[in-house]
A and B are shown apart, each in its own frame.
Chain A
Amino acid sequence: MVKFLKILPIATKTGTVTIKYPYQEPLVTESFRGAIEVDPAKCVGCGACTRICPPKALTLTLEGNTMILKYFVGRCIFCGMCADTCPEKAISVTKEFELATGNVFDLYTDIEHEVKTCSICGKSFISKKLGDKVASKVSDIPSETMDLCPDCRRKEALKRFIGALE
């Protein structure tokens, strides 16, 4: 027998290996990492995820009086580093991969946070939630210090220090 004809019984036995996607359950395993989901209730807007995100799919921007955590799935590489990093465990990795769309805006998810403004210069500096979080963790910071932006806080501390010297 011509040896290469042996492929025929193999092919017959194997049958069709392609599946009827999407009419059949897609074959992703239980380990699969897809798009991420940010829980707005848990997120405090600290920005840790934006600093670790390798492709910069997560960004934190300030628009007026709102701090926006923007997730652009078009840049996401589905590594899940954000979920590993998030101190509040607000980010979870889903199995979602059917993300194609005709409208690029469908690829953005925004989470809005109210911001805290400095009681002296009026500049916005952190999200209210993060401020509250820090205040609840560190009990001995006076509330007037908590309301100052880092610049003004430094100036005030220096003033107090010089005052104490005099």
Chain B
Amino acid sequence: MVSSESAMNDINNNETFMTPSTSLVRDIVLKIRSFKDRVFGVEQKDGIVRIKIHRDVLPNIVQMLATLKGIYLRTMMASDERDLEGVYRLYYVFGVDKEHTNIVLEASLPQEDPSISTIVDINRAVDWYELEAHDMLGIEFLNRELYRLVLPEDWPEKIYPLRKEYNISDLIKFYRPKAIEYAKEIGAENIVTIPIGPYHPALHEPEFFELYIRGEKVVDARYVGFMVHRGIEKLGEGMKYDQVPFLAERICGICGFVHSSSYCQAVENALNIDVPERALFIRSIILEIERIHSHLLWVGVALHLLGYDTGFMHSWRIREKVMILAELLTGSRKTYGINIVGGVRRDIDSDKISKALDVLKYVEKEFKQLVDISISVPQVNARLRGTGILPLGEAIALSLVGPTARGSGLDRDVRRDYPYAAYRYISFKVPTYSEGDNLARTLVRVDEVFESINMLYQLLDKVPPGSISVESWEPEPYKLGIGSVEAPRGEVIHVILTGSYSPYRWRVRAPTYQNLPAIPIMLRNADLADAPLTIASIDPCFSCTDRAIVVNIDRGSIKTIPIEILSLKGLKAIR
């Protein structure tokens, strides 16, 4: 890794770093340094402490971190750096909430033996990260069961898509769906198979829960997911820096702006780009508008799941005003498309600000009425209170994020803990509830709507003058950057390793990835009838991708049908 810039000071030489406000981080670094020759270097820059360690001591260090409070695993990035240094590298990102600092443990694995000891027995949150790194890069995690998580079961063995030797067109050729064999087994030359599901009845997205029931009670639950893995990280490696925000925004159809913001922040962090203040304010404004519409959507869906469709209709009626406001400010109802590295693309003026204030006043008044009425509906209240309980201890152990964590009393919010955009210029509260039931998670979101409106009043009042993006910036290869944003569903974190023209490695972690493992815990001992709402209570968000693959059984060939052909010929394209 190319480093040792003047900005990156050695931790011992950096006086400002030794202030009491960062005492926990200092203690941690000193403890890690006690591993002496197994620790190769410590660098600090903009709230990121990078510690290069030998792979042997990772479990010991994570064990040490596990004894401390207020530290959690935010994400883990595995990266193929064989053409740089002949190694694979793992970046474990731990967050120290109170001190606004990320601790990045970097372990190199030699290419001839890419293995490392698992830490899943110490930190349960790392489970999926290890499985994904195994699927995508072929990293071996010792002393644990490794199985396919992200890739489909019929993906060929030993083909690891994120390795640099494969480009996207190669990967498409490698995929041989088992459908061919299955079809031959049942002698299905002329039978059409129509897959139905698995979809969540409320959210229309691909997920699958296997619930084990005794009587009316759920005994256990198992989640099967990643059915439509899109390979977006690989795709981003082949796109230019300024094209990726538009791809990132399409990771989620409801809270896309958090992903483009997070990506831009990661690049800006890696390359030390100073974004103009006005752009930071506009980002915050749009992010809060997005949160309001997302929470109003969720409240509507939740009421619908409880059979109170009147509430659903009114929630979405109020939301519609927010959608039109978003279009006025950005040019689009959703997937706003105004984020670029170094700023934003659309300015706001006094006319738009006054229109925004009108909408906010309307939403504040109407939503307050609706909440009062909905919560007073006896059935709604009875089915929210005391169902889907998630204890605080489990929330901490699984490193949960967002309203799911805050509903269980885990006070964690990226806007306050790792300030970005314009949040440092305004004051706000972080609503938390300690009950951990569906009602608590609902009330967190309801309170957040009002808090967001309050934040928007401040932001719209304070928008500073100036430009809305930097004039130009230069990419510089192999810099590490972290960008995180508090999405409506919880924390989104993007880690980037820069390249010359495109990101060299781009790691995306959406909040649902972190929060889903909590669902089986919430469902245990719940009534079956409460399962749909409990599942929806983390506000899950999955990749929703439509595509057609045609499998010719006789020839054993497969082809993907491009949208152009499919729309032209319809079913004829498949025959």
Contacts and interface: CB of A to CB of B under 8 A. Distances in A.
Interface in B343-394: 345-346, 369-370, 372-374, 376-378
Given A4-B376, A10-B314, A31 B329 contact: yes
Contacts of B332: 32-33, 78
B330 interface: yes
Interface stretch (B40-48, B77-85, B211-219, B320-328): B320-328
B345 A6 contact: no
B253 interface: no
Interface stretch (A79-87, A109-117, A125-133): A79-87
A93 to B, nearest CB: 8
Contacts of A10: 314, 369-370, 373
- Find the residue from A3, A54, A75, A104 having the highest chain B CB count within 10 A: A54
A17 interface: yes
Given A7-B310, A31-B327, A32-B327, A74 B564 contact: yes
Contacts of A52: 240, 242-243
A33 B332 CA distance: 6
Contact of A77 (B246, B328, B346): B246
A12 interface: no
B564 A72 contact: yes
A55 B564 CA distance: 13
Interface of B: prevailing SS = helix
A72 B324 CA distance: 27
Nearest to B332: A33
A30 B324 CA distance: 11
- Find the residue from B243, B345, B563 having the highest chain A CB count within 10 A: B243
Contacts of A74: 563-564, 567
B556 interface: no
A95 to B, nearest CB: 10
Contacts of A29: 324, 327-328
Given A29-B324, A52-B240, A54-B239, A17 B331 contact: no
A33 B246 CA distance: 15
Report the contact-size class of chain A (Cβ under 8 Å from the partner).
Answer: 20 to 34
Contacts of A79: 246, 337
Interface of A: prevailing SS = loop
B247 A104 contact: no
Contacts, number: 79
- Find the residue from A7, A11, A51, A78 having the highest chain B CB count within 10 A: A7
B75 interface: no
A141 interface: no
B335 interface: yes
A4 B377 contact: yes
Nearest to A51: B240
A81 B374 CA distance: 43
Contact of B317 (A17, A31, A72): A17
A157 interface: no
A144 B242 CA distance: 37
A2 B377 CA distance: 9
Interface in A1-32: 3-4, 6-7, 10-11, 14, 17, 27-32
Contact of B373 (A3, A30, A84, A105): A3
Interface string B299-328: 000000000001100100100100010011
A78 B246 CA distance: 10
A14 B328 contact: no
Nearest to B377: A4
Interface of B: 239-240, 242-243, 246-247, 250, 310-311, 314, 317, 320, 324, 327-332, 335, 337, 345-346, 369-370, 372-374, 376-378, 563-564, 567-568
17 contacts: A4-B376, A6-B373, A10-B373, A17-B317, A28-B327, A31-B328, A31-B331, A32-B331, A52-B240, A52-B243, A54-B247, A74-B563, A74-B564, A77-B246, A77-B335, A79-B246, A81-B243
6 cross-chain pairs, A with B, having the tightest CB-CB distances, nearest first: A54-B246, A104-B568, A33-B331, A3-B376, A79-B337, A54-B243
